[in-house]
Amino acid sequence: MILITGAAGMLGLSAVHMFLERGAVVAACDARPIPEGKMPGGDKAQRFLFAEANMTSEIHIINLMSTIRERFGRLDGLYHNVYVNRTAKIVNQDLLDWEDTVRGTLTSTFLMNKHAAGLMRTNGGGAIVNTSSVLGTIPVPENAAYGASKAAVEQLTRVAAVELAPWSIRVNAIVPGDFKSEERLAGYTERQKEAIGQKTLIGRSGLPHEVNELSAFLLSDAASYATGALYPITGGFGL
């Protein structure tokens, strides 16, 4: 049973459909509803639960875990995708925007890891995949709050791996570079696509399902020896 946060977003929604397609039982949450027409239907709906919840609210997360426990009885995996990014140069950054970014990106990760681990412990273990970003290591102007938060997510992941190992809970982080949905790329000019491609060795933006394939591996038993690690999936961005 897998929990996917940020399920109304590009990466999270793609992950919801991927995991359901592969037969998983999925719980999903976001502070906003899944877009009309994107909600899983048919037999997949029987294996799917969606809850609107704010991942910066501890009470929302506690209630979400209670719902998962009541509905499914267990939690085997967490794929955490929630973030906030209020961009500005440091000298112009509003304190509230800084705190909103840190809370939405770092604090949400802390709270989800904390409460997901508590539920996983009751059923003998599990796996957590946090989502970082290349901006956690590559300095990009106007992204100080986001970059610092993602760098902290990576250290949080390492510490969580150490602390949760006795409970048989693995914790890893993926580190995506640039990725965009096919629908979004369709609106880009060839010149814009070429500019993006020049920044990567692969020569293009990544697609959500490519990022999610790595997460699916890390949440599976095939990755049973992987914990406390960061997994870049960047197309060679910045190399």
Active site residues: 146
Q: At residue 87, what is the residue type? A: T
- Buried-state track 149-164, b at ≥16 Cβ within 10 A, e below 16: bbbbbbebbbebbeeb
Supply the DSSP symbol for 214: H
Total residues belonging to the chain: 239
Separation of alpha carbons 30 and 23, rounded Å: 22
Long-range CB pairs of 162-167 (<8 Å, 24+ gap) are 162/228, 164/117, 164/128, 165/227, 167/117, 167/120, 167/121, 167/125
Strands 169-176 and 230-233: parallel
Separation of alpha carbons 140 and 144, rounded Å: 8
Q: What angle do CA 54, 46, 212 make, to 5 degrees?
A: 60
CB 77 within 8 A of CB 123: no
